[in-house]
A and B are shown apart, each in its own frame.
Chain A
Amino acid sequence: MERAKLDFWVGLFVLAGFAALLGLALKVGNMSSFSSAPTYNVQADFNNIGSLKVRAPIKSAGVVVGRVSAIRFDNQNFEATVTLTLDGQYQFPKDTSAAIMTSGLLGEQFVALDAGGDVKNLATGDKIKITQSAVVLENLISQFLYNKASDAPKTDAAQTPTQGTQP
């Protein structure tokens, strides 16, 4: 009698433990969106991927359609080759373009796909030809400063001759 009672509590404990694991997987984790649906891989070359990470989302029109599965450096073209794993239920035309965007001002980076107009669809092993690299903040700032700096003397130079010729 005593033994059966104890077994009941042990059973309840094990049940609670597995329920907690299941809860962690389903409610806290993303097991529910973890589908074994068919996927296909597409490659894209970027001049600069910024801080794009493996497993970063791929979005089209803001909807997640896949994940980045691999990033490697192509030593022939000196570019980054990013492997995009797209969900099989989403098909994109062959002339789809890929761009690396940032969510928010300082958020994580993701790959944005912009669908083209080709009749043929992308398939495994295809390469996305039109790509746009990540915006590097330092380059942007230095470009801005350079433009500013090159603007400033030009206006000065434009002004001095007029001043010189006026009298």
Chain B
Amino acid sequence: MKSQPNVVSRIGHGVIDSIWRLGSAARFLGQVLWRSGLSWRRFQLIMNEVYASGVLSLIIIVVSGLFVGMVLGLQGYQTLQTYGTEQSLGVLVALSLVRELGPVVAALLFASRAGSAITAEVGLMKTTEQLKAMEMMAVDPIARVIAPRFWAGVISMPLLAAIFSIVGVFGGYLVGVVLIGVDDGAFWSQMQAAVDVRNDVLNGVIKSVVFGFAITTIALFEGYDAMPTAEGISRATTRTVVTSSLAILALDFVLTAFMFKGI
């Protein structure tokens, strides 16, 4: 009897709490955008973060891009071969990478590689009261710590996605043309005939910019909002990866529905 209202109130508390967090996340994003002037004037701050989140993610992006492209080449060949259209392998590999897999898989990797690192870093700064110490010294922690990480993520993400796509196409080429022996000219010419610069490549870039925006916002907010304990940081890091992965997939659906409606 007693547990019944407890459950209801706990659900209600959860809902109210998540609305509360959504509101403060929106306010946080507004503050980051508003106060990021300093980080653009001191560009070195952004550079350091591009190194931490972009350059250090490069290896995992390149390796997984290569393997995703090679798997696409193998699987695509198996299916296309039954219809005698293995010449279109290049189209299949390039379109699936440029439109979907490039931005989405690169964003998922970026969220778990760089997003979690950002959350842990900012969370630890908060726990050890470095952020408060900055405020005491009249240094704005949002402008000095948060904004450079935000813009570094937004800059790095489309570049990483583009690298992922091109390496993936190369992986598909390796398997399709070099290993299996699909005709070299047909592979490239059909790909070039089917992939449109504005409809496919540019939309992929737009997607990855949006994902970069979402991942860094979630990662920074979780870190900034983390409970200042060891357990709080671990929870915040987990939440960053889970929430940003879900956000990426949901945003991808919405963006795809907008972009490829009439095609």
Contacts and interface: CB of A to CB of B under 8 A. Distances in A.
A25 B201 CA distance: 7
A3 B55 CA distance: 14
Interface stretch (A13-21, A43-51, A78-86, A157-165): A13-21
Contact of B162 (A12, A20, A31): A20
Contacts of B192: 27-30, 32-33
B50 to A, nearest CB: 5
A45 to B, nearest CB: 23
Interface stretch (B132-140, B163-171, B218-226): B163-171
A130 interface: no
A7 interface: yes
Interface string B55-68: 10010000000000
B186 interface: no
A49 B238 CA distance: 54
B94 to A, nearest CB: 5
Contacts of B158: 17, 21
A30 B98 contact: no
Given A28-B192, A29-B192, A13 B50 contact: yes
A136 interface: no
B54 A28 contact: no
A28 B98 contact: yes
Interface residues of A, number: 25
* Most chain B beta-carbon neighbours within 10 Å: one of A3, A10, A24, A33: A24
A1 interface: no
B193 interface: yes
A6 interface: yes
Nearest to B165: A24
A29 B55 contact: no
Interface residues of B, number: 31
Nearest to B205: A21
Contacts, number: 81
B162 A17 contact: yes
A29 B201 CA distance: 7
Contacts of A12: 55
A27 B168 CA distance: 13
Contacts of A32: 192
Contact of B196 (A3, A17, A30): A30
Contacts of B191: 28
B81 interface: no
Contacts of A116: none
B159 A10 contact: no
Interface string B123-161: 000000000000000000000000000000000101110
Contacts of A27: 169, 188, 192
A31 B51 contact: no
24 contacts: A9-B55, A10-B51, A10-B55, A12-B55, A13-B50, A13-B51, A13-B54, A13-B58, A17-B163, A20-B167, A21-B162, A21-B205, A24-B166, A27-B169, A27-B192, A28-B94, A28-B191, A28-B192, A28-B195, A29-B98, A29-B192, A29-B195, A29-B196, A30-B196
| Cβ-closest 9 pairs across A and B | A17-B159, A20-B162, A20-B166, A29-B197, A20-B163, A13-B55, A29-B195, A21-B162, A31-B197
Given A17-B162, A21-B162, 16 more contacts: A9-B55, A12-B55, A13-B50, A13-B58, A13-B159, A16-B163, A17-B158, A17-B160, A17-B163, A20-B162, A20-B165, A20-B166, A21-B158, A21-B159, A24-B165, A29-B195
